[in-house]
Homo-oligomer: A and B are copies of this chain.
């Protein structure tokens, strides 16, 4: 039995695939944050033994995939597909991590929404009958992101209060057609939303309207309400972006009491000098493949709406005066089918 579309943006899975393995790999700073105990691997050395930050990102992905496969008790050869991407130009973090894995590969670009995007497509492909096990993966690295998007690290540029800190980390989740759960039951795919924010140091405000749009669509398509979820978690809106989403729902008459954001959870907002919080593909990926999936396994949460958020800009688009197109993909995770 195949899945079906519910409304415009949501797919309801007929045979919800199960998480069977997951892993989070992070850098030093993330290991000093409040979620340290939830990560599988914390490196004291952000180069991960490599000669460049870009290669470090590939090393993180390879490690995350390897740990997730171990937890699932399978070899790479047991994966039908691997879906992954990252923030680097031409997604080289991913390309070089996947090289040598001998797994059919679909490369994705969803900016910081990539964990939710890869999980979405993995779930849809499995529910469609195309294989038994699929890995979804992404990463980001503070140092590779800074030099690519902003300025050389040595420059020491000051960051405005709305800025966020790119997470050094990689998360990997393996889905299977069968398993003990949690299960991916619904996939709400985002449309691009752009409300005209041009400040690349204020990504939270740029992405908040996309998160609002997708979460609203999820409720409209499924007939569910916010209280049907124990937790609604956006990817990397940070403090400001999260507050904007809560505010917009409040104007609609809905109090999103269970709304939080991976970017506000991963660091100590006071004390780790991260301003509005964490960001990057790795942010939502390691919070999902750590705090969230651990918490579901421990029955802390029964049902979560995981909403990856991405800003589809580049330094070139910003230099050319463009605003920031954003997107949010939501995935409903449920302990039961």
CB distance from A190 to the nearest CB of B (A): 7
Residue numbers in B under 8 Å from A317 (CB-CB): 54, 90, 92, 95-96
Q: Which of A132-165 contact B (CB under 8 A)?
A: none
User: Smallest CB-CB separation from A84: which chain B residue?
Assistant: B109
Given B85, B100, B189, which contacts A81 in the complex, CB threshold below 8 Å?
A: B189
A251 interfacial contact with B, CB 8 Å: no
A31 interfacial contact with B, CB 8 Å: no
Number of copies: 2
Q: In the complex the two chains form, what is the Cα distance from A125 to B100 in whole Å? A: 27
Residue numbers in B under 8 Å from A131 (CB-CB): 5, 11
- Once A5-B80, A95-B192, A312-B90 are accepted as A-B contacts, the answer to whether A110 and B106 lie under 8 Å apart by CB is yes
A128 interfacial contact with B, CB 8 Å: yes
Q: Are B107 and A90 in contact (CB under 8 A)?
A: no
CB distance from A169 to the nearest CB of B (A): 20
A4 interfacial contact with B, CB 8 Å: yes
Residue numbers in B under 8 Å from A117 (CB-CB): 106-107
A3 interfacial contact with B, CB 8 Å: yes
Residue numbers in B under 8 Å from A129 (CB-CB): 2-4, 14, 128
Q: Which of A285-330 contact B (CB under 8 A)?
A: 312-317, 320, 322, 325, 327
- Once A90-B89, A90-B314, A91-B109 are accepted as A-B contacts, the answer to whether A4 and B130 lie under 8 Å apart by CB is yes
Q: Show 12 residue pairs from A and B whose CB-CB distance is below 8 angstroms, ordered by the A residue.
A: A4-B130, A89-B315, A89-B316, A90-B317, A92-B312, A92-B317, A96-B325, A106-B117, A109-B109, A124-B130, A127-B128, A128-B129
A: residues with CB less than 8 A from B are: 1-5, 8-9, 11, 14, 51-52, 54-55, 80-81, 85, 87-92, 95-96, 98-111, 117, 120-121, 124-125, 127-131, 189-192, 194, 312-317, 320, 322, 325, 327
